[in-house]
């Protein structure tokens, strides 16, 4: 037969093109949940009958903080705490349908990696890389800015121009 036959159990075949799988072989797929805003394939309807699918929630607060500390060892612990609190609120609003986008640990990791690599940019630039798209909807944007402010994260203000240089 053509291609690779990766069978486990049943009749064993020998010969060219046959690859036997180890009994502990696992495949891990990372997939976004179905529907808006991802608009990709519904993983469960495409692969659900072939694989044992497991939905994994975002990590709990302490696990998320531990992960973020690994990505940003030089990022202030207090800032990490405030980011986790703010994103927890954003996720809760996604779970209740207030927001469509489910702000995940992936966004927090990107923010922390930015602050770690470019500390001179500050938290506002790092947040803009992740959240600027939301400015298209004024109500959502105001809510996000409000949640960040409530958690002690300065965001949403325009940078001050140095007038002395004019």
Paired residues of 18 in beta bridges: 5
User: What are the backbone angles phi and psi of residue 149, rounded to the nearest 5°?
Assistant: -60, -45
CA–CA distance, 25 with 104 (Å, rounded to integer): 28
pLDDT of residue 33: 67
Predicted structure pTM score = 0.71
Cα dist. 135→94, 125, 126, 158 in Å?
17, 14, 15, 14
> Is the pLDDT at 159 greater than 50, yes or no?
no
Helices (H), the chain: 43-47, 61-71, 77-95, 105-117, 122-131, 138-150
> Is the pLDDT at 105 greater than 60, yes or no?
yes
Percent of the chain exceeding pLDDT 90 equals 42
What integer is the mean pLDDT of 73-82?
Answer: 96
Paired residues of 5 in beta bridges: 18
pLDDT of residue 85: 97
């Amino acid at each position: 037969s053509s291609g690779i036959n990766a069978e486990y159990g049943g009749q064993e075949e020998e010969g060219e093109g046959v690859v036997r799988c180890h009994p502990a072989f696992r495949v891990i797929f990372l997939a976004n949940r179905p529907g808006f805003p991802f608009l990709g394939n519904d993983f469960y309807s495409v692969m659900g009958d072939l694989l044992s699918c497991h939905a994994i929630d975002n990590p709990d607060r302490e696990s998320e903080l531990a992960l973020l500390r690994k990505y940003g060892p030089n990022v202030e612990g207090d800032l990490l705490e405030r980011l986790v609190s703010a994103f927890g609120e954003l996720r809760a609003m996604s779970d209740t349908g207030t927001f469509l986008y489910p702000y995940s640990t992936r966004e927090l990791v990107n923010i922390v990696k930015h602050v770690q690599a470019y500390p001179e940019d500050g938290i506002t630039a790092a947040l803009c890389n992740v959240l600027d798209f939301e400015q298209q909807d004024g109500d959502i944007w105001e809510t996000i800015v409000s949640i960040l402010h409530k958690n002690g994260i300065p965001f949403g203000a325009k940078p001050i121009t140095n007038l002395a240089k004019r």
